[in-house]
Amino acid sequence: MAGVLGCIGIVTGSALTWATVPIGVTTVTVGGLEANGKLTLLLGVLALAFFIASLRLPGRDLPVLGGAVALGAAAIAGAYWSNVKAASGSVVARLLEGRGTLDPSAISARFAARPGPGLWVVVAGGGVVAVASAILLARARAARREAA
């Protein structure tokens, strides 16, 4: 059940805000679906399918596959998180589009982006799914030892 909830967290976090960029008195946001959230959304749905299938079908491979896919989604969100300042340049460039040339590195230094709640949710969901996968795998191994 925790694995399913973690997958739902990945899917939800993929659509939430991934970065916030304060510009003057306003704050501009970057949604996950504008960034790499499309990939994490796809991986979250795939992991959810593996976990739901594991509840219906026997075998230990499906939760492991779900955990691996969910960790992939968390890794994508983590990679975006590690370079969230690059979002500053794209946000400001989008706001000023058509008003001359922009140097994204100079913009990134001036307007510092911060991670949004969507990144937290995707990474936490990936962690929950990984722990749930490990627990299901351990239970399957213990059941095989008892049966033997």
For the chain, the domains span 39-81+120-148
Q: What is the pTM of this model?
A: 0.81
- CA gap 104, 134 in Å, rounded: 42
Q: What does 1-50 look like in DSSP terms, one character per residue?
A: -HHHHHHHHHHHHHHSEEEEEEETTEEEEEEGGGTTHHHHHHHHHHHHHH
Residue 93, pLDDT score: 67
Q: What is the pLDDT along the chain (148 residues), one digit of tens a residue?
A: 788 899 999 999 999 988 887 777 777 788 888 878 899 999 999 999 988 888 788 766 888 888 899 999 999 998 888 887 776 666 666 666 655 555 555 555 566 778 889 999 999 999 999 998 888 888 878 877 887 6
Which pair of structure tokens corresponds to residue 99? 């008003």
Classify 99 as helix, strand or coil: coil
- CA gap 108, 132 in Å, rounded: 38
Element (H, E) at 114: strand 114-115
